[in-house]
Amino acid sequence: MLKRKYTLLHGIIAVTIFVSAFALFSFPAFAIEEDKGTAVIFVYQRVGEDIVSKSNISIEQFKEHIHELKEGGYSVLPLTKIIDALKNGNVLPPKSIGITFDGAYRATISNVLPLLEDAKIPFTVFFASDMVDNRNSAHLSWDQLSKLRKNKLVSIGILPAAYKHLTDRTDEQNVTIINRAVSRYREVWGENPAFFAYPYGEFNNSIKKILVGYKFKAVFGQHSGGVHVHSDFLSLPRFTMTDDYGDLDRFMLTANALPLPVEDVLPEDTTFFKNPPIIGFTVTPEIQNLSRLSCFASNLGRLPLTRMGGNRIEIRPDQPFVDRRTRINCTMPDETRVPGEPRRWRWFGMLLISYAMNEDRDESIPRNKLEISENSED
């Protein structure tokens, strides 16, 4: 009888150890709360349209991206699944990815659709309704969009009806072109659009306030970083892919990005008059060793950082920003490295727009290659 009790006890212990080990190795440990629901979203504008070099990526590079997504252990998910998981606080698979295309360019969709269908990769297309209504031959027609919308791999989102820099326009002008885009979507398909994207990734607080009334599931910019459970769903980041900044190494680096959650961000708005602006943010206290944090500005390089106490970081650039648009990218290596896996980087990005500049507007997607100091890599 005693022997039987010991045998039973040993069996219970063995089962407990097995279940514990299964839980340990089957489910990832999350360094911070934001890691349990995080994803990287990419935005492409043109693919295989070499004549528009600034916003284009070659078909060859795009094929490399697809191959990496299929073979690199990623989970490429529909945008709706990513956003619903984040809003409900659900766990997303490790290395979750979303794929989007801005502009609904006919040649681009023709180039990518067979590749993405063959790889069974879901994606979202954002379109500007005025381009469709004006029968612009460079963009998909309503019939083509409707056919695309029936594809189980595809979801459709909207840009403003007119593909304009919203930060250069009045609130009334912006309301007009956003209303028109929503109305045309509803007229054609009988429902409201779920997703909205800012043209060229540009927005400010005034524009975000306008969008609150439309009840979009999510709104997307073009600043760098990963989306997570505490993201601002009126300005979700996406990594932009172009020929110059879409090589495989950078794609892999960004595809493996983790969130660097911040709060109390300065400047309080993305548009500013004082040049250079004071930049600041507070990193979530769960993240330590901020000595390895680096920030870079497009066309200025590495920025001087000041740690104000706790996890408060402030940046006072020693020279004015030279462009109307300036990208800020702040990164640091993740300390919770998984054995056998490459180093992953935590990432926070901003796209700042200077009202002080008086220059011709650049209609191309901004190009900014992330810089990571070799001194900070493992």
Per-residue model confidence as pLDDT tens digits over 2-55: 444 434 434 433 433 333 333 333 334 567 888 889 999 999 999 999 888 889
Residues of the chain with CATH 2.60.40: 263-376
Higher pLDDT, 341 or 265: 265
Distance set, CA 100 to CA 85, 200, 201, 318 (Å): 18, 14, 13, 36
> Angle 294-248-84 (CA atoms, 0-180°, nearest 5)?
75
Computed from CA positions of residues 184, 187, 190, 192, in that sequence, does the dihedral angle turn out positive or negative? Answer: positive
Q: Given pLDDT bands bounded at 50, 70 and 90, which one contains residue 356? A: low
Residues of the chain with CATH 3.20.20.370: 33-260
Name the fold adopted by 33-260.
TIM Barrel (3.20.20)
What does the block give as tokens for 322?
Answer: 């030279």
Average pLDDT over residues 72-96: 96
What does the block give as tokens for 358?
Answer: 């008086």
pLDDT, tens digit, 9 for 90 and up, residues 181-230: 999 999 999 999 999 999 999 999 999 999 999 989 999 999 999 999 99
Q: How many CB atoms lie within 10 A of CB 29?
A: 9
Q: pTM (2 decimals)?
A: 0.86
CATH code at 263-376: 2.60.40
Confidence (pLDDT) at 333: 94
Q: Burial level of 104, CB count in 10 A (0-12/13-18/19+)?
A: buried
Give yes or no for residue 378 having a pLDDT over 70: no
